[in-house]
Amino acid sequence: MARYDNILELEAELNGTGLRVGIVMSRFNIDVSEGLLGACTAELTKCGVQESAMLLVTVPGALEIPLVLQKMALTDQFDALIALGAVIRGDTYHFEVVANESANGVAAVQLDTGIPVANGILTTQTDDEALARMGRKGAEAAQVAIEMANLLRQLDEVSQ
């Protein structure tokens, strides 16, 4: 429903029918990552993305996710990509480095390639916090990927 008179408004569209989605998942903190993946793929399927239109690639940790996302984006085989993983605070500064650099890398991939990337990499203080958030965050990442892929398609149609 349009909220503004006399202004074309593109609205959120969560129909994933026909979309091709790539998922890159960190194997570090695997229990949380697999929880994210389960919720993500369930939501993708619920929204109409066919399992045969999904590709899952796993990497050692969150810092490796952006490189694989970039490689996948450059193939032009995907309408959207999803990054999944968990960076859980430890006793060292390493948490900040991994959290910040993985987020920067994920953002750079979508800006550099024009392929939307949903960032489903949790950054939490504790394992319990990560486990509590993984279901919702995985589903949200799927919704973001679908919405953004559809939005870019709508923008292409409007600009023609």
Q: Check: CB of residue 73 under 8 Å from CB of residue 111.
A: no
- What's the one-letter identity of residue 43? E
Residue 1 annotated in active site: no
The closest alpha carbon to 83, from 94, 98, 97, 95, belongs to 98
Tokens of 24: 């890159």
Please give the Cα distance from 116 to 118 (Å, whole number): 7
Tokens of 40: 């993500």
Residue 159, helix vs strand vs coil:
coil
- What's the one-letter identity of residue 72? M
Neighbours of 62 (CB within 10 A): 27
Q: Give me the catalytic one of 27, 71, 94, 136.
A: 94
Query: Which residues are catalytic, by number?
Result: 94
